[in-house]
């Protein structure tokens, strides 16, 4: 019983931290359940006052539409504690160092993703399949660990629910346009694998609005999504520019986009990747423009819970492996031939023809052959979802290889 009370207090503290971190509503009423026996209702005051609007469409079409209920139910909880433990490092440590064993036993990777950002993470309504740049990294990890890129249970998550769900062990990895920040990496209890997409926050406006730069937005309303870095960056940047604006904070991507499209906001702000992606979902995409200014640094990539170094290493080196494969010219089309014929020791190490680098991760030595066969190298993944043959036609920019002046760089496979 004493333990329950202690856990309850920890739960409440964690909840207040979480709500503060997310810049939530003025007063949050929440039920915190700890070890089934104890239910506590608490009101948590939050410092920041923001407008939270959840569009009617959202209420009618909740996340369940994009994240089918069966998928949620199918996501087997691990031995980790439940989501009520919110945002402290302690539960992450309890999740233990056996994620790979759990994934192998389950026969599926539980991957937390986005369902609403075409090109990155998207549930295609026609096929009911997840697809995108981030989704391919779920497949890459499943290929490395389980030998099957399709052995993935996808869990669609919003900006707000992604962190508690990862902390609770309901997913093994989160790969969903999530920015690497110090607070997420430390007090929230996560480890970030290498950045797969270097991004920055942008602002979309109507072409006929006369707005060409942020300082033209005096008195403007701006649609922004709750529980994101976006919310805080917007406030900081506008304050620094002395622009008095009104944020309209919404719960998820569809409601944010709908509010902007319906003309309830003059601007829509999120990561530039998210803006480019969401632009194609607007009623008249060509009527909108993304301002040139970049408001922040948003390094996006996969993340895992603290407390499992082996699992962190796997996610990290699978990601680096896709970078290295591009640098070495290894593709999904030539990987088998390269493994069979290359005499380059660097290639032979990466593909596990020589050495036992896979074994060091607890994987087969040819784990990168499986990954590259399944999804290709970094450049192939990028081009498939964002490149010139897609509607996005996104320039690589900082996401070029380091040998080409970009930031994509793998340490040696030695």
Ligand X SMILES: N[C@@H](CCC(=O)N[C@@H](CS)C(=O)NCC(=O)O)C(=O)O
Q: How far is the CB of 223 from ligand X (least distance, A)?
A: 10
Contact set for ligand X, span 206-225 (CB under 6 A): 225
Q: Which stretch binds ligand X (CB under 6 A): 14-22, 30-38, 141-149, 268-276?
A: 268-276
Nearer of residues 197 and 367 to ligand X, judged by Cβ? 197
> Quick check: 274 binds ligand X (CB under 6 A)?
yes
Q: Which residues contact 390 (CB under 8 A, 6 or more apart)?
A: 119, 383, 384
Q: x-or-dash pattern for ligand X, window 54-73, by CB under 6 A? A: --------------------
Check binding of 8 to ligand X (CB under 6 A).
Answer: no
Enumerate residues 229-248 that contact ligand X by CB under 6 A.
229-230
> What is the C-alpha to C-alpha distance for residues 365 and 322, in angstroms, rounded to an integer?
15
The residue from 87, 172, 252, 308 that contacts ligand X (CB under 6 A) is 252
One of 270, 279, 319, 399 touching ligand X (CB under 6 A): 270
Q: Does residue 159 belong to the site contacting ligand X (CB under 6 A)?
A: yes
Select from 8, 88, 179, 269 the one that contacts ligand X (CB under 6 A): 179
Site size toward ligand X, by CB under 6 A: 19
Quick note: the x/- pattern for ligand X over 278-317, rule CB under 6 A, is --------------------x-x-----------------
Cβ distance to ligand X smaller for residue 158 or 167: 158
Q: How far is the CB of 309 from ligand X (least distance, A)?
A: 24
Q: Which window, 227-235, 258-266, 288-296, 311-319, contacts ligand X (CB under 6 A)?
A: 227-235
Restricting to residues 113-142, which ones interact with ligand X according to CB under 6 A?
A: 114, 116-117
Nearer to ligand X, 291 or 338 (CB): 291
- Kindly indicate which of the ranges 185-193, 267-275, 361-369, 396-404 contains the residues binding ligand X, using the contact rule CB under 6 A: 267-275
**Which residue from 182, 275, 174, 183 is spatially nearest to 224, judged by alpha carbons?**
275
* Positions in the binding site for ligand X (CB under 6 A): 114, 116-117, 158-159, 177-179, 225, 228-230, 252-253, 270-271, 274, 298, 300
């Amino acid at each position: 019983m004493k333990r329950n009370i202690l856990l309850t207090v920890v739960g409440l503290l964690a909840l207040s931290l979480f709500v503060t971190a997310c810049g939530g509503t003025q007063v949050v009423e929440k039920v915190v359940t700890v070890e089934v026996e104890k239910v506590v209702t608490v009101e948590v005051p939050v410092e920041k006052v923001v407008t939270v609007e959840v569009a009617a469409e959202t209420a009618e079409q909740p996340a369940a539409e994009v994240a089918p209920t069966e998928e949620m139910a199918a996501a087997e909880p691990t031995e980790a504690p439940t989501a009520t433990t919110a945002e402290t490092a302690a539960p992450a440590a309890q999740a233990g160092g056996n994620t790979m064993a759990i994934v192998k036993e389950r026969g599926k990777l539980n991957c937390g993703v986005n369902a609403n950002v075409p090109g990155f993470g998207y549930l295609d309504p026609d096929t009911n399949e997840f697809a995108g740049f981030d989704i391919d990294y779920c497949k890459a990890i499943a290929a490395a660990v389980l030998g099957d890129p399709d052995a993935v249970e996808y869990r669609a998550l919003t900006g707000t629910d992604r962190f508690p769900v990862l902390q609770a062990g309901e997913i093994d990895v989160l790969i969903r346009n999530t920015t690497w920040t110090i607070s997420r990496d430390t007090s929230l209890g996560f480890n970030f694998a290498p950045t797969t997409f270097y991004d920055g926050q942008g602002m979309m406006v109507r072409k006929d609005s006369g707005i060409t730069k942020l300082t033209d937005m005096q008195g403007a309303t701006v649609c922004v999504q709750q529980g994101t870095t976006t919310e805080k960056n917007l406030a900081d940047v506008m304050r620094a520019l002395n622009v008095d604006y009104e944020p309209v904070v919404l719960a998820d991507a569809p409601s944010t986009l709908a509010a902007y499209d319906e003309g309830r906001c003059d601007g829509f702000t999120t990561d530039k990747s998210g803006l480019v992606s969401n632009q194609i979902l607007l009623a008249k995409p060509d009527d909108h423009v993304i301002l040139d200014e970049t408001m922040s640094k948003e390094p996006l990539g996969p993340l895992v819970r603290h407390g499992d170094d082996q699992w962190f290493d796997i996610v990290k080196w699978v990601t680096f492996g896709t970078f290295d494969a591009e640098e070495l010219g290894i593709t999904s089309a030539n990987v088998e031939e390269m493994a069979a014929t290359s005499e380059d020791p660097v290639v032979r190490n990466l593909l596990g023809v020589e050495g036992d680098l896979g074994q060091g991760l607890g994987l087969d030595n040819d784990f990168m052959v499986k990954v590259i066969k399944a999804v290709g190298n970094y450049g192939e993944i990028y081009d498939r979802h964002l490149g010139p043959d897609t509607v996005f036609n996104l320039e690589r920019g900082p996401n070029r290889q380091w040998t080409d002046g970009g930031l994509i760089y793998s340490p040696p496979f030695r």
